[in-house]
Amino acid sequence: MIEMVDNQAQCLLLDYRSCSLVDFAKPYCESRLPDMLSRHIPLSLFYQCMIRKLLARFRCTDLDDYLKTRAMQEQSDHLGGLFADAGIGTVLIDDSPSNSTDMLLPAAQMAQLTNLNINRVLGIEPLLERLFVENDTFDLALRSLERALDSAIEESAQNNLRVVALKTTLANGGFALEVSTIASARTAYHPARKEVLDTGRLGRTAAYNYLLTVVLELAIKRGLPVQIRGSGDHQAMLADSNPLAFQPILRAQRFADLKVVFLHSYPFVREAAYLASVYPGVFFDLSLANSLLAPDLTRLYYEALSAAPYSKLLAGTGGNSQPESFWYGATCLRRGLSEALKELTEKGYLLKAQMEEVERAVLRSNAINLYNLH
């Protein structure tokens, strides 16, 4: 089995072993509506398939029995077993604080419990939120930005977590990022800062847009790829989450050397693959789709590999909060990719001797090269 680099994941819950059935279902639904999580997700075919596979692997009678077994098992044994079974060796963790009050397992502790090689993806929005809180004028925030970024990277390194990428949610406002003038950014700063002080969250304003573009330039300067989460975020309007809307940034000379990774991609797999086929610095993954669209994965990987060079496609489980989401995402990913490669071979688009090379590139090599994980 080719050891996989999981390009996209989030932290586990600190108390995941004492979760409810609803909490257990959360990684498999972008909705946070209680009725969806309690009634409808358990009736999804992919979810029922995952439960059957879990029960068979751990010889349990039902989900309640599995959760009790999991709670009694030594944590490192359970986690290590799941990740080893999935063939995951390296994980890129986004440990940015979420909107919920859930306590997260520190990435460093997760590394110890799983024996995984864990690297960190640094969230841009939490960094900017702190900047807005700490600086009462736009000019102070702008002057502090580079130092704040470097301090966050250095602090992470001191905790034995290397920052290998930055990540943006584009403040959940869609991919159409307007390049603001410094004058408009100054005007917008005080209302934007008040919103952060009142709610703790950034919105899409001229001040945010300007500072984000500066961060993109700093990412280029430091050789860090920028992951972009769009369609896989329940706060984002799906109609605004087509990666084609990001094309003006990709075409700007100012960002010619920017490396971006479109996360999740579905339902815009074709569009993400198109951009990856045009721009050298564009990469993409299917992450959450590996679980949420498990029955249709072969077609999705076939489409991705049909439109984009295989050097541009990355592996990501979209794992979060519960360890089974990593395990199931990786299991489905491997199956979908393998079946797509077989189909491409049968149709003459891929030589049989190339299959392992392409599989290794998607599961491992592409991420190692992009994120400099050597």
Q: Across the chain, how many H-helices and E-strands are there?
A: 17, 9
Main-chain dihedrals φ then ψ at residue 14, nearest 5 degrees: -60, -40
- Which fold, 4-370? TIM Barrel (3.20.20)
Instruction: Determine how many CB atoms are found less than 10 A away from the CB of residue 251.
Output: 11
pLDDT tens digits, 73-97: 999 999 999 999 999 999 999 988 7
Complete DSSP assignment for 209-271: HHHHHHHHHHHHHHT--EEEE-TT-TTS-GGG--GGGGHHHHH-GGGTT--EEEES-TT-HHH
pLDDT tens digits, 116-138: 999 999 999 999 999 999 999 99
Main-chain dihedrals φ then ψ at residue 280, nearest 5 degrees: -60, -30
Q: How far is CA 182 from CA 129, 132, 162, 189, 216, in A?
A: 18, 16, 32, 10, 16
Domain positions in the chain are 4-370
300 contacts: CB under 8 Å, gap ≥ 6: 266, 269, 286, 289, 293, 336
245 contacts: CB under 8 Å, gap ≥ 6: 174, 175, 176
Round to whole Å and give the CA distance between 243 and 182. 26
pLDDT digit of tens for each residue in the chain (374 aa)?
Answer: 999 999 999 999 999 999 999 999 999 988 888 899 889 999 999 999 999 999 999 999 999 999 999 999 999 999 999 999 999 999 999 988 765 667 999 998 999 999 999 999 999 999 999 999 999 999 999 999 999 999 999 999 999 999 999 999 987 888 999 899 999 999 999 999 999 999 988 999 999 999 999 999 999 999 999 999 875 455 667 788 899 999 999 999 999 999 999 999 999 999 999 999 999 999 999 999 999 999 999 999 999 999 999 999 999 999 999 999 999 999 999 999 999 999 999 999 999 999 999 999 999 999 999 999 98
Strand partners of residue 165: 121
Tokens of 38: 């309690």
E strand or H helix at 12: strand 4-12
Which among 108, 314, 141 is positioned nearest to 228, based on CA atoms?
314
pLDDT tens digits, 310-351: 999 999 999 999 999 999 999 999 999 999 999 999 999 999
| Residue 115 zone, left/alpha/beta (φ > 0; ψ -120 to 50; rest) | left
The model's pTM: 0.95
Round to whole Å and give the CA distance between 10 and 12. 7
Residue 67 near residue 345 (C-beta atoms within 8 A): no
